[in-house]
Structure 1
């Protein structure tokens, strides 16, 4: 059986793009599409799939709405939409600082995840922006942790997305961060921290190990009140949690860091004590406009 060429382009619904699933030829053919989906995605309950069918959120290649009783048609594709029955509202707003035909520069608040993942869908920066701009092609060009605030760029146009992604991949974008951390009079700045970092335990953390250096950050002191200090951080590499690990290595962990030096899980609805890390500036030469681009977050970290 040959796959039909689909001309159906699933619309964006409430800021969410459709996910696509291929239905392969199987030795034990499922009785129905519903049975296949329940088996393929065991982390999604049958009740959730029933709700998606009931809400008419599952389509075939021609855009026909599928039902709980739809047959499993091998060598075809289907489209479905994610939803979350319960999602915690993040009570902080993002701000668009700059926009042209190719990308948007956003000032992201603390506690807002960049893209849908796990328990976050509508309360993510990507879905919020898609709903605001009605542009289904928006894609983050780089990443910030959920806990980190500040500058992040989103591509608007698939044709030029790779150009900007390459700038970040080739370290042609100058990044500057601010952080609040303890003040130690015996530490001298500016200084460069060079470490080898690898995955830690738990798996979502990083650890310092011996071996060839793979992370480098230039750190300087901006101001202090003898207890806390504001530091300027210029990462030359982009390892996960690099800035958090580097300051922790100096025995000055970032204020309110839930992972370093120790993992401390907070309630997802607790928006007190945000991580005091801010992506303050981004600068790069735009190969399309042939202009120097320089963005500065409006947010400020304070010692108080």
Structure 2
């Protein structure tokens, strides 16, 4: 019995020692061997993959919606809307798209007005056609110089300037003034002024357009001539000839010229106001009309 007990005790001791050895080996951290891993960095917008998404077919991203087409200047504007912007007066407007070869708006285009300084376009054509001084013609246009206009009017034919160019361009509503000495009383229509610009753009010396691009903010008489197209153009390039006259019995305020890249649009707004409407108010009304046209 004692011998058996000794052997049993020895076995227990050896078992305990083995258990300690096994436990110690599990407590030590094994040094890992390096493993080569090809890792793809996700973008900031990637979501962690899931079992469902890993096997699903990716949904294509729809293309961005294209920007809506820009409306043509004047589209959707009617004569009644423009009339409301000139209470108690008259207004005519034409916007002609040279790229399309058509008007995008035409309101009261055949209504007649006295031209004020717009007739200077015809005077300039006559002077340059006759070999006159280019620099002075440009000053007459860019600063709307009345003294130069009067000199040229007398020298280059007076009323015959109007009749000659009206015939050449096919102007149906343009007439010389009843008083031969009053060039500003020449009769015009918005439709005819568009035709004058078509001729200037296609056939006239570049000196005329250069002068219209360089129109000064103040005319030679001190009048602020940036009403209408210049004030409403909104950063678009422009070239203008303006007109104003007063006051028996009404006040005229006209803005005309080309607007946009490559002189795409010919814009003409002719307006007549009661003499009780001052120039500042009339100018703001004309500018509002052009803003309605250009958008």
TM-score, normalising length: structure 2 = 0.25
Give the number of the structure whose alpha-carbon radius of gyration is greater: 2
TM-score, normalising length: structure 1 = 0.25
The structure with the greater share of residues assigned to strand is: 1
The structure with the greater share of residues assigned to helix is: 2
Query: Comparing both chains, which one has the higher relative contact order based on Cα–Cα distances under 8 Å and sequence gaps of 6 or more?
Result: 2
